[in-house]
Structure 1
Amino acid sequence: MIWQYLLLVMAAWNVIVLILYGIDKWKAKHDRWRISEAALLGSAFCLGGAGALFGMTVFHHKTKKWKFRILVPLSVVLQAAVVYGILPR
């Protein structure tokens, strides 16, 4: 039962991370104070990898930076391992 709650929390967090990437892209276009790369990558590695990858794809944001092209997909793999680990067998 707790694994269902954890999956729901992870899904909500991924939506928040997606929104963070969208906000940062908007700020980049409007020459505003930006969200740091460390915060964006950190949010991806704190179980928000899918939201980060989706945000990169939808908003075409940070797609040319090698750190993001390598680390965000890696965070998705790690997140998938965590999900696999918490699912009941």
Structure 2
Amino acid sequence: MIKIILLAYLLLINIITYFTYAADKTKARQNKWRIPERTLILLALLGGSPAALLAMKHYHHKTRHLKFKLGIPIILIIQIIITFFLYPNI
């Protein structure tokens, strides 16, 4: 049961993350108020790093910022290591 809840959470946080990055890119193009970078990074830290990386590549968004260019992949790698440590039978 816990795996189903975890998978549902990860699916939801990744959907939210992807569309948040997309919305920020749209706002950037329209020269409107932007979503704070700390919010974008927090979403990645909360489990949305796969979607953050995908959105960065798809929308070419935040790809020049070193803290995103290196930070998001590092967050993803750490999350994968933690996942395999906590759930070795996956």
Partner of 1:61: 61
Q: For residue 16 of structure 1, give the secondary structure of its aligned residue in structure 2.
A: helix
Deviation per CA, 1:25-63, whole angstroms, max 9, x where unpaired? Answer: 000000110001111111111111101101101111000
Unaligned runs of 5+ in 1: none
Distance in 2 of aligned mates of 1:9 and 1:52: 15
Q: For residue 33 of structure 2, give the secondary structure of its aligned residue in structure 1.
A: coil
Partner of 1:73: 73
Matched-pair contact (CA < 8 Å) for 1:63–1:69: yes
Counterpart AA for 1:32: K
Count of aligned pairs between the two proteins: 89
Q: Which has the higher contact order (CA 8 A, sep 6+)?
A: 1
Q: Which runs of 4+ in 1 moved over 4 A?
A: none
Distance in 2 of aligned mates of 1:42 and 1:85: 22
Partner of 1:48: 48
Unaligned runs of 5+ in 2: none
Percent identity, aligned pairs only, is 34
Q: How does 1:9-20 map to 2 (within 5 A)?
A: 9-20=9-20
1:4 lines up with 2:10 in the alignment: no
The structure-2 alpha-carbon separation of the partners of 1:5 and 1:85, relative to structure 1 and needing over 3 Å to count, comes to: farther
- CA positional deviation for 1:11: 1.6
Matched-pair contact (CA < 8 Å) for 1:3–1:87: no
